[in-house]
Amino acid sequence: MKSLLTTILIAISACSAFAQVDTTSFPKERQEIRELLRNQKPGTLIDCNDMIAVGPKGDISFSHQQWVEAQKKEKLIFKSVRPIPGNEFIRIYDGTTAIVNLLINVQLVVDEQDVNIKVRRLEVYRKNGTGWCRVAGQGTQVDEKIFPVNSK
């Protein structure tokens, strides 16, 4: 009997150790993140004070201000940033942390030339007393000649 009880306890412990974290619940938080992504406009501050951003050339900014300065140095101006519907994947952890992978259509000006590109972004958000803010972000331009983008 003792060995049977021990076996059952070990089996239960092993199952709970391999249980996955529920990241697809939290519908309210998921909707808040979706709204934040869809209503993002150039000049809108959604970054936390301790945000880290990686630029297209691998440069790292350790604050929103450093990120803005890097854009000025590259003579880069964002005109619009729009998520492509059906390409937003949101995982919420404990209702306070969000990992977002999304595809965005970016219209910008580089050296006074209009550029339209698609970028796959990975962003991390945290919820504080005033709402959600971005703590990290990095993007990769999608080469549509090699990897065509299916917009749903």
* Domains and their CATH numbers in the chain: 22-141 (3.10.450.50)
- The Cα angle at residue 19 between residues 100 and 121, in degrees rounded to 5: 10
Query: How far is the CA of 127 from the CAs of 46, 82, 98, 131, 143, in angstroms?
Result: 11, 22, 8, 5, 33
The residue type found at 32 is E
DSSP code for 43 = T
From the list 122, 101, 107, 99, the residue with the least C-alpha distance to 76 is 107
Helix and strand numbers, DSSP H then E, in the chain: 3, 6
- CA 82/CA 74 separation, integer angstroms: 22
Q: Which pLDDT does position 129 carry in this prediction?
A: 86
Q: What is the pLDDT of residues 114-129, one digit of tens each?
A: 989 999 999 999 999 8
Q: What is the pLDDT of residues 76-92, one digit of tens each?
A: 788 888 899 889 999 99
